[in-house]
Chains A and B, each alone.
Chain A
Amino acid sequence: MDHNSEDARNRIVEVHGRTVWRVALSHTRREDAAEEVFQEVFLRFFEKDREFQSDEHLKAWLIRTTLICAKRCQAAMYKHATVSLDEIVSLSAIPEEDGMLATALFNLPEKYRLPLQLYYIEGLSAEECSRALGLRLGTLRVRLTRGKNMLKEILKGEGINV
């Protein structure tokens, strides 16, 4: 597959761009950092002609690369400054009801946030999530369950029953 043709590039960015963006945003919780990660992932992707067996394989590679880049970016950011969550993630574009869910999700610890993100939002299977996050299946399942419970608890406190 030639990823460097204009059509292929447009298609890949169009199809997987949102996934990369969401994972990057979820991981870094900063739009500017997510932008950096987003670009770096696609630059990495286009720098070599890579062979992928399927679209799922490509998606898994993009998610894994996004997680790696986001982790590195986050480590660099951590050394410099920390700011409050409200200042960094712009949730104004999201309707109020979903905005609360988004806030709750972003406030979850990373180890619960990312499994929920990949499983529910990106639609990966439990096995794919475990591979992308480098977790054992059992661990992933525990985190998914606990994360979901925590999220529900937070939303319950806000008066939203899910």
Chain B
Amino acid sequence: MFDEKYHNRNDEFALRMERLGNQMNPSPRLMQAAKDGVPLRKWGNQYSAGYHLKKFAKAAMIYAVCIGLFLGIFFLLPDLPQASPPVGGNEGATELRVPHKVPKGWEAVSTDGNAVTYIRMKEGADAHHWYDQFLLGGVSNNIVTDIDTPEHMSAWNQTVTVTIYYGCFYLDDLTIIPYTTESYGDQFHAFTLYMNINGRPQSILQIKSPDELTPIAVREKENNVGVAQIGLTQGIMITLPLSELTEGSVEWELDSLAQKYCNHQGRVNLSYTQWGFRYFRSRSVLQEYLESHFPYMLFVGNSPLLILPTVVILSIVLLIRTLKKKKMPYAAFLPLLFGVVHTVIYYLMWEAFYQKNGWFDGLVESLYLLFGNAIYGGMAAIVAIFCLVAGLRRSHQRYKQKREVDRSVSPKSEDQQKARD
């Protein structure tokens, strides 16, 4: 195949090729640099900050799309009801109000002809559907009792019955506001908040001294009661991870002493919504599992339940990517970043604007939750740190290699040069 005559080095083609080669010369500067052993370009990282920024932005975009897809597939369905703020304020004595808009599948029930005392699910309605609608709807799903004068004492005895058909139930923002702390004086009497769960009366809160009117948290796990808090201005939030409570009722009442001393002004705001779910329509199997097995997670909000699957999946993917390609994993930091930003901004907004507690409270709350929310934050942090170490190690090895080359060819010091001469 190889024809020596055809590939003769003396024919016109070969001569022209040789002539061409003679005209292709490196620049004198480059030649001199090679002779000196000093590279013209700086060794090391040849990528600009813009390059890194672009990579990071790309990773952020991919991450956002992943989260969007994940949430979209698992939580969002069409015709999301428009959210509206919950009802609050003094609306009138003994008035019990239910949502302006009764959730789909539910009906308002009036026992006295005018005031609606409770809502119940329509017969045959799909419980799951109700749950989604109800929690998602953001309808003013509060039952508010405002008591301004002693003659409305009877309102304290009002039993609000909410029938629970499905899953978890939240008593949110149950606020008991004594007139003033001074009004108790030395005659403070303990009061107890009772709650009947499935017909079993359970004491969920006991206030024994005025000091306890500062925010406290009570945990009574054996009663399936998650958390109760009370304060002068802070409501009681009772989160009930009642996995066993598939159907039943929750009733609450204050004891007589509490009625006596809390009768000037008090507001019981029974809300059975939970903000975290307002954004998401249905509950995944994973959420159900987590709620039933890790009820304390509800205390720190539902964000772990929603974010956790995303973080787990992405973290595993990123980890594999990092180990396989041994590259600095920009995207590995994003779950952590997302967790921090989400927690701080969301809770900040929640406290500052929605609850109107001010920026400081919002910040404190968000930081508290940020540290408390170790489930996804911690996991993401571990992954990020691992990836960071792997990336830095790799980078350091490369740097060491380059440095060794540089040293071996760098101009010798004067002393070395003299010794050599």
Show the binding face of A for B, using Cβ within 8 Å: 6, 9-10, 13-14, 17-18, 20-22, 25, 34-36, 38-39, 42-44, 46-48, 93-95, 98, 101-102, 105, 116, 119-123, 126, 137-138, 141-142, 144-145, 148, 151-152, 162
Q: In the assembled complex, which residues on chain A have CB atoms less than 8 Å from the CB atom of B405?
A: 43-44, 47
- Give the residues from 1 to 59 in chain B that come closer than 8 angstroms, CB to CB, to chain A: 1-3, 6-7, 9, 12-14, 16-21, 23-26, 30-31, 33-35, 37, 39-41
| Bound: A116/B2 CA distance, A | 13
Q: Choose from A93, A122, A141 the contact partner of B21 (Cβ within 8 Å).
A: A122
| Bound: A26/B35 CA distance, A | 22
User: Given A22-B21, A121-B24, A162-B12, 15 more contacts at CB 8 Å?
Assistant: A17-B26, A17-B31, A18-B24, A21-B25, A34-B26, A44-B405, A101-B16, A116-B17, A122-B21, A123-B9, A137-B2, A142-B1, A144-B7, A148-B13, A151-B13
Asked, given contacts A17-B34, A120-B18, whether A25 binds B24 with beta carbons under 8 Å apart, the answer is yes
Asked, given contacts A9-B37, A43-B405, whether A120 binds B2 with beta carbons under 8 Å apart, the answer is no
Q: Quick check: B40 and A39 within 8 Å, CB to CB?
A: yes
Q: Quick check: B409 and A47 within 8 Å, CB to CB?
A: yes
Q: Quick check: B30 and A35 within 8 Å, CB to CB?
A: yes
Q: Quick check: A39 and B30 within 8 Å, CB to CB?
A: yes
Q: Does B114 reach chain A (CB closer than 8 Å)?
A: no
Asked, given contacts A13-B31, A18-B26, A39-B39, whether A141 binds B13 with beta carbons under 8 Å apart, the answer is no
> Using an 8 Å CB-CB cutoff, how does the interface string of B232-246 with A read, 1 for contact, 0 for none?
000000000000000
Q: Quick check: A121 and B20 within 8 Å, CB to CB?
A: yes
Q: Quick check: B20 and A105 within 8 Å, CB to CB?
A: yes
Q: In the assembled complex, which residues on chain A have CB atoms less than 8 Å from the CB atom of B19?
A: 98
Q: In the assembled complex, which residues on chain A have CB atoms less than 8 Å from the CB atom of B26?
A: 17-18, 20-21, 34-35, 38
Q: In the assembled complex, which residues on chain B have CB atoms less than 8 Å from the CB atom of A95?
A: 23
The residue in chain A whose Cβ has the minimal distance to the Cβ of B24 is A22
- Main SS of chain A's interface residues? helix
Q: In the assembled complex, which residues on chain B have CB atoms less than 8 Å from the CB atom of A98?
A: 16, 19-20, 23
Q: Quick check: A120 and B17 within 8 Å, CB to CB?
A: yes
| Bound: A57/B40 CA distance, A | 27
15 residue pairs A–B, Cβ–Cβ below 8 Å? A14-B31, A14-B35, A18-B26, A21-B24, A35-B26, A35-B41, A36-B41, A39-B33, A94-B23, A105-B20, A119-B7, A120-B17, A121-B18, A126-B7, A162-B13
| Bound: A21/B23 CA distance, A | 11
User: A25, A38, A94 — which one has the most chain B CB atoms within 10 A of its CB?
Assistant: A38
Q: Quick check: B23 and A126 within 8 Å, CB to CB?
A: no
| Bound: A14/B17 CA distance, A | 21
Q: Does B247 reach chain A (CB closer than 8 Å)?
A: no
CB distance from A41 to the nearest CB of B (A): 9
